[in-house]
């Protein structure tokens, strides 16, 4: 690999606290699976509040809560029927306020999901919109007449199933949905819809949240001309769904999205040091991540799938991904994750038959070394592998629809194991909504707490290291020439530099540490398979 520098000039701010998020470690909590406080088998907000001490003990800067809003749960909370209330399965608004207060007392910022591309078909807005073609909200969703033969207006395919269009006899039209038929797309081109969404954001900001993750935001606007998407040439990419057969140029990624994001950013700035991160997936994600965060009037960061959907972890993948953000003028700030609720857990996805504990440790050291924000998914600090969920216990509509061709999402969403000797790992006294994988019990929090050499305690140590060294949270990264399968790079500048080296191969590599460096943290034995180290300048 060639040596190069990716450095961004310092940006002055009126208050350093405004940049609390830059380089932060943010812990994702999937509420259904974190902790069950009332014994119904489903995690809830009081359960999260009771376990926040564990999260704070990691040393993270913030938590991100996946949706807890009122929902029929067809897509487990990403189909929202009331943007401004808590679903009873998770608790109440007062429970959320108590969670927020406890998190802030522990020094944790709180980021919540906002889903602006679509709602549930049970949302009052959609119920009114579908009632007629001339009601006040008739244009709040995307409606289209059929073709002369009665077929859908174009060839767009949804992420989960087949066509993006579902017929509604009440209006005698089709409505657009990029995901489930029960998740109709909001017509975000409509200024009244934008105002309603901004009012929703204001509702949560007024309650004291510290930021938003904007879910699937590149699906928020469509091509008003409803042009057909072109097909993907045969033999290009893996095809497990109709969605994979076409380029999604017109059902998402409209050029007007950044202007709406600027409106969101303006509102956020009125509240001080708040944080916005866009979830951006798909074939245009690299371009859109940068577009959505470009300049001071758009989002702070974007959350990409470069690592989440990669089949293998290689030096080439890491370098090419980080180089997408070279530090150009007006460039935003990236956020990275190796695991989340939508992707198989990293320990299983990239393991390739190797030792899972060694790999989990190397992956954590790498993640904490990268330039950008770090999103850490619940259980990742324990080194949990992807859970095995039998077909009859599957809950995820995507997993059920595409089984057995995809692993689906349920295996990453199983309950958090708190105690190895308690029923269901201490998550709930009753059978939980998804089964606890027996392989997770020896990795439970209580077992790892007692072991100073555990994955849990390593994670704590690495987060402290990232906080201690501004180089790891800052902008500068410089690639260092090293033979494959090694990856070597420096973080920081001048005397504040750190050297980070990893061996992703299956054999030991003989590569002497450059003169003048002293190892301050390492996993595995030096440059053996699945090892890595961070070094600083020796005095």
State the catalytic residues: 215, 279
Residue carrying the six token digits 């029927």: 81
Q: Distance between CA atoms of 233 and 181, rounded to whole angstroms?
A: 27
Spatial distance between the Cα atoms of 222 and 256, rounded to a whole number of angstroms:
9
Beta bridge partner(s), residue 176: 165
Count of Cβ atoms closer than 10 Å to residue 98 Cβ: 15
Please identify which residue in the block is written with the tokens 């929202």. Answer: 80
User: CA-to-CA distance for 472 and 466, rounded, in angstroms?
Assistant: 5
Q: Which residues of 126-144 are buried (b: 16+ CB within 10 A; e: fewer)?
A: beebbeeeeeebbbbbbbe
Q: How far apart are CA 523 and CA 370, in angstroms?
A: 16
Report whether 95 contacts 44 (CB < 8 A).
yes
b/e code 400-433 from CB counts within 10 Å (16+ = b):
ebbeeeebbbbbbbbbbbbebeeebbbbbeeebb
Judge whether 160 and 401 are in contact, CB under 8 Å. yes
Q: What does the alpha-carbon distance between residue 425 and residue 178 come to, in Å, rounded to a whole number?
A: 36
Query: Cβ distance 218 to 118 under 8 Å?
Result: no
Helix (H/G/I), strand (E/B), else coil: 333: strand
Residue 532 phi/psi, 5-degree rounding, is -170, 160
Integer angstrom CA distances of residue 93 from 64, 99, 104, 320, 338: 17, 10, 17, 43, 31
Angstrom distances, CA of residue 246 to CA of 154, 183, 232, 285, 504: 12, 21, 5, 16, 34
Q: Decide if 436 contacts 416 (C-beta within 8 A).
A: no
């Amino acid at each position: 690999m060639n040596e190069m520098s990716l450095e961004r000039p310092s940006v002055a701010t009126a208050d350093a606290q405004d940049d609390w998020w830059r380089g932060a470690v943010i812990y994702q909590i999937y509420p259904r699976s974190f902790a069950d406080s009332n014994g119904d088998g489903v995690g809830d907000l009081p359960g999260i509040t009771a376990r926040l001490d564990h999260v704070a003990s990691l040393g993270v800067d913030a938590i991100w809560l996946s949706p807890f809003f009122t929902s029929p749960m067809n897509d487990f909370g990403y189909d929202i029927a009331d943007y401004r209330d808590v679903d009873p399965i998770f608790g109440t608004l007062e429970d959320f306020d108590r969670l927020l207060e406890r998190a802030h007392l522990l020094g944790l910022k709180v980021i919540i999901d906002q889903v602006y591309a679509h709602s549930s078909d049970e949302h009052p807005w959609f119920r009114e919109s579908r009632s007629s073609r001339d009601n006040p909200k008739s244009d709040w969703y995307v409606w289209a007449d059929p073709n002369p033969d009665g077929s859908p207006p174009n060839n767009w395919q949804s992420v989960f199933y087949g066509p993006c269009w579902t017929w509604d006899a009440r209006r005698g039209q089709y409505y657009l949905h990029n995901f489930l038929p029960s998740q109709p797309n909001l017509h975000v081109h409509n200024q009244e819809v934008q105002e309603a969404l901004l009012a929703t954001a204001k509702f949560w900001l007024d309650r004291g949240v510290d930021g938003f993750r904007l879910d699937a935001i590149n699906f928020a606007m469509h091509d008003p001309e409803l042009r057909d998407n072109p097909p993907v040439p045969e033999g290009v990419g893996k095809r497990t769904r109709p969605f994979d057969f076409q380029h999604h140029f017109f059902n998402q990624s409209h050029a007007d999205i950044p202007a709406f994001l600027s409106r969101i950013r303006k509102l956020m700035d009125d509240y001080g040091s708040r944080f916005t991160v866009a979830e951006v997936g798909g074939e245009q994600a690299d371009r859109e991540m940068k577009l959505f965060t470009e300049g001071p009037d758009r989002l702070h960061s974007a959350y990409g799938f470069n690592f989440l959907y990669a089949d293998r972890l290689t030096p080439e993948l890491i370098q090419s991904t980080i180089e997408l953000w070279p530090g150009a003028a007006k460039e935003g700030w990236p956020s990275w994750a190796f695991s989340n609720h939508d992707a198989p857990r990293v320990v299983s996805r990239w393991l390739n038959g190797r030792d899972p504990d060694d790999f989990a440790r190397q992956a954590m050291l790498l993640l904490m070394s990268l330039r950008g924000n770090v999103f850490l998914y619940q259980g990742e600090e324990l080194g949990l592998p992807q859970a095995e969920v039998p077909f009859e216990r599957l809950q995820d509509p995507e997993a059920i629809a595409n089984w057995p061709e995809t692993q689906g999402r349920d295996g990453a969403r199983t309950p958090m194991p708190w105690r190895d000797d308690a029923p269901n790992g201490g998550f709930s006294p009753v059978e939980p909504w998804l089964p606890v994988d027996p392989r997770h019990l020896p990795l439970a929090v209580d077992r790892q707490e007692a072991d100073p050499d555990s994955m849990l305690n390593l994670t704590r140590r690495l987060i402290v290291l990232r906080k201690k060294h501004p180089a790891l949270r800052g902008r500068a990264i410089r690639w260092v020439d090293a033979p494959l399968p090694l990856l070597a790079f420096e973080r920081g500048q001048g005397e504040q530099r750190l050297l980070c080296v990893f061996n992703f191969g299956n054999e030991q590599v003989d590569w002497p540490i450059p003169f003048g460096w002293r190892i301050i943290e390492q996993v595995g034995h030096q440059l053996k398979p699945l090892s890595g180290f961070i070094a600083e300048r020796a005095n």
